[in-house]
Every structure is written in C-alpha cells, then in structure tokens.
Amino acid sequence: MRMTPQRKLIIDILKSTKSHPDALWIYQNAIKKMPRMGLGTVYRTLEQLEREGEIKRIDFKGIAHYDANVNVHPHLLCSKCGKIVDISDSYDFDLRNFDLKGFKIESINLDIIGICPECQSKKGEN
C-alpha cells in the first residue's frame, strides 16, 4: 500500500481527533483540504488501514467508527446519540484467562454502553 496524499490526510485527520469519527465525518473534513477526494477512497483507505492494524474499527448502532489509538482500551458509548468517549488510553485485558477456541486474536473491544450525561438531561425529547 502506497503512502498517497489521500491516505496521509486520512491518517492525519484520525490522529488529530479523539471523537472516534465515522467515514462520512472523515470525508467531510478531508474535502476541506482535498476537495476532489471521493467517499469511496475514504472507505477503501479506512478498510486497508484497519486490515494493517494501523487503526481500530468500532461498530456501533450500525455505523463504523475509527480510532487511531490501537491499544486495548475501554470506550463509553451513548446508546442515544451514538457518541464514543475514551475511558483510558490503555487497559490490560488478560486473554490467558480464556479459552480462545483456536482463534488467532487481532484486537479487543471493551465497549461500555449507556446514556451520556447530555442525553440524560434531554429526557423530554424521547
């Protein structure tokens, strides 16, 4: 995989945010600097980066979000607004306690799902 300007921009955008963005958000930010970039390029690049272990994918509410921090670390996810927040930068989850049934492990997602403070105060809107 070549390091193209498109790929570099996508990595930069992901590394510069802690918001765990989805492909559309990355695309919308990317075209501010490269107006002709296509959404397909964003999807293809994110998929490649994930396969290479450069970034981590978080599936939530039917949308793929991406994280430049590939350490194992737990996330808080809001089931109302879909927001994803880091709890810490790393967490030691000891796989030796488990029977991994022959799986070759690639990554671990620790997702703690709940309602964020903002959505708790907006109760009337539901």
Partner DNA sequence: GTACATGCAAAATTTTTGCAAAACA
Partner DNA sequence: TGTTTTGCAAAAATTTTGCATGTAC
Binding residues: 78, 81, 116, 119
Interface with DNA (CB under 7 A), residue from 12, 43, 74, 109: 43
Annotated binding site for Zn(2+): 78, 81, 116, 119
Dihedral of the CA atoms 19, 25, 30, 32 (nearest 10)? -100
Judge contact between 14 and 55, C-beta under 8 A. yes
Interaction mask 8-27, DNA, x per CB under 7 A: --------------xxx---
Q: At what angle do helices 5-15 and 23-33 cross, to 10 degrees?
A: 120
Q: Which residues here bind DNA, judged by CB under 7 A?
A: 1-2, 4-7, 22-24, 34, 36-41, 43-45, 47, 62-64
